[in-house]
Amino acid sequence: MTSTAGTHAPMALRALALSKSFGDVVAVDDVNLDVQPGEFLGVLGPSGCGKTTLLRLVAGFERPDGGGIEVGGRAVAGPRRNLPPEQRRIGMVFQESALFPHLDVAGNIGFGLPRRGRETRVAELVALVGLAGLQHRMPHELSGGQQQRVAVARALAPDPALILLDEPFSSLDATLRSQLRTEVREILRSAGATTLFVTHDQGEALEISDRVAVMRAGRIEQISTPEELYLRPVNRFVAGFVGEANLIAGEVRHGEVQTIVGRFRAPVGSLVDGDSAEVLLRPEQLHMRALDLLETPPRPESVLRVVRRVFHGSEVHHVLRNPDGIEIEAATSSSATLEIGTEVIAHARAHEVPVYPLDEPA
């Protein structure tokens, strides 16, 4: 058995240089990952990025081509061993609830439990997921949300070392979805479960995860807290994938990136005068001012015209276009919108924002 470094409790999940290809498609490429006990880790990425394969490798449904996996300090997959799923102490919840249609709620929850003490444990879990009184319903007699709660209870019942959620809310409609994800998060928190949660929905990942791993083309691009991911994405891909992003090009002069919406500090060392770079500005970081309120006339390329408005409830996003055709998006509260056609300049109050050199591959 491989021991983990340090004297602390072992990681709930550890992936070491994990790789998996299907033919010449590399699905998971040298992935390293540590999940702390009790942590809720979101794995976020576009479809086909390898996040589901990562989950299936951890569960034991796929055999890695290289690297290893430890669950609770115990090696479950590696060069010399590959434990089958039934020996990994892992609970799994799928997008389709995948309840056993021939068993009732109690039968589903108790499926992974030894006969002794089964009833007590089932009753505990039924109460935990708030389905008391429905033990003897069959799956088809439950609503979509109830089915997913049963699926969560069933995964939790044998007290697994790790819970894997594979897009568990995608098949539900929007309202139910946000309600259920809060509930499920609460259930897992109170059970003290360690969770790996795969989703392509960035809002969902940011909302309920302790940390989020963003994947692209089989690789993990960044693992951070949701705040860090939103405010300081490591590259343009993460910036664009997490939240709405304006990537505004500029040129470095005197240690600053000069753009049509202002000047921003260029990171020391990586950029020199004359380099091209992009700065990341979220729509809510940009402020607009109508031209006629300005004291000094702006440079012509900074003049932006409101070409479209997108209503988001509490906020309204204004799509702005400059004479060169560059479009950026700025948010205001819905009570302070500007008419389409208004000419404005935009600026950001922040001076230190993420800057990405433009010669770096995207």
Partner 1 sequence: METVAPPTAAARSASRTPAPPAWLIGAGVLVALLGLLPIGYLLVLAGSSEDALSLVLRDRTVGVLGRTLLLAATVTSASVLIGVPMAWLTTRSDLPGRRWWTILGILPLVVPSYVGGYAVVAAFGPRGALQSLLEPFGVTRLPELYGFPGAALALTLFSFPYVVLSVRGALLRMDPAYEEVSRSLGRGPWRTFFTVTVPQLRPAITAGALLVALYSLADFGAVSLLQFDSFTRAIYVQYRASFDPTLAAVLALMLVACTAGVLLAEARLRGRARYHRSGAGASRPAATVHLGAWRWPALAYCAMVVGLAVAVPIGTIGYWFIRGIGAGEPLTLVLDATLNSVLASGLAALLAVLASIPVAVLAVRHRGMLAATLERATYAGFALPGIVIGLAFVFVAARYLPWMYQTLPLLLVAYLVRFVPEAVGITRASLLQVSPRIEEVARTLGRPPSAVLREVTLPIIRPGLMAGGALVFLTAMKELPTTILLAPTGFDTLAVRIWSATSEGFFARAAAPALLMVIVAALSLGFVLRQERDR
Which residues of this chain interact with partner 1, rule CB under 8 A? 22-25, 59-62, 65, 84-88, 90-92, 94, 96, 98-102, 111-112, 151, 154-155, 158, 160
- Give me Rg for the CA atoms of the chain: 25
User: 144-156 and 118-128 are packed helices; what angle lies between their axes, rounded to 10 degrees?
Assistant: 130
Q: How far apart are CA 244 and CA 302, in angstroms?
A: 21
> 165-190 burial, b for 16+ CB within 10 Å, e for fewer?
bbbbbeebeeeebeebbebbbebbee
Asked if 139 and 147 count as a contact pair (C-beta separation under 8 A), the reply is: yes
Instruction: CB nearer to partner 1: give 125 or 344.
Output: 125
121: number of CA atoms within 13 Å, CB side? 20
Q: Least Å distance between CB 232 and partner 1?
A: 36
Instruction: Residue 198: name the closest of 62, 58, 74 by CA.
Output: 58
Instruction: CB nearer to partner 1: give 146 or 224.
Output: 146
Instruction: Residue 183: name the closest of 121, 137, 129, 119 by CA.
Output: 129
Q: Least Å distance between CB 62 and partner 1?
A: 8
Q: How far apart are CA 202 and CA 206, in angstroms?
A: 6
State both tokens at 173: 């409609």
> What type of residue is 285?
Q
Phi-psi region of 124 (alpha: psi -120 to 50; beta: other; left: phi over 0): alpha
Q: How far apart are CA 278 and CA 255, in angstroms?
A: 14
Q: Least Å distance between CB 2 and partner 1?
A: 22
CA dihedral 351, 244, 165, 187 (to 10 degrees): 70
Instruction: CB nearer to partner 1: give 56 or 211.
Output: 56
Q: Least Å distance between CB 113 and partner 1?
A: 9
Q: Least Å distance between CB 106 and partner 1?
A: 14
Question: Residue 49 gets which letter from DSSP?
Answer: S
Instruction: CB nearer to partner 1: give 101 or 300.
Output: 101
Q: How far apart are CA 262 and CA 330, in angstroms?
A: 14
Q: Least Å distance between CB 57 and partner 1?
A: 12
Q: Least Å distance between CB 61 and partner 1?
A: 6
Instruction: CB nearer to partner 1: give 62 or 278.
Output: 62
Instruction: CB nearer to partner 1: give 23 or 133.
Output: 23
Q: Least Å distance between CB 20 and partner 1?
A: 9
Instruction: CB nearer to partner 1: give 157 or 346.
Output: 157
Instruction: CB nearer to partner 1: give 82 or 342.
Output: 82
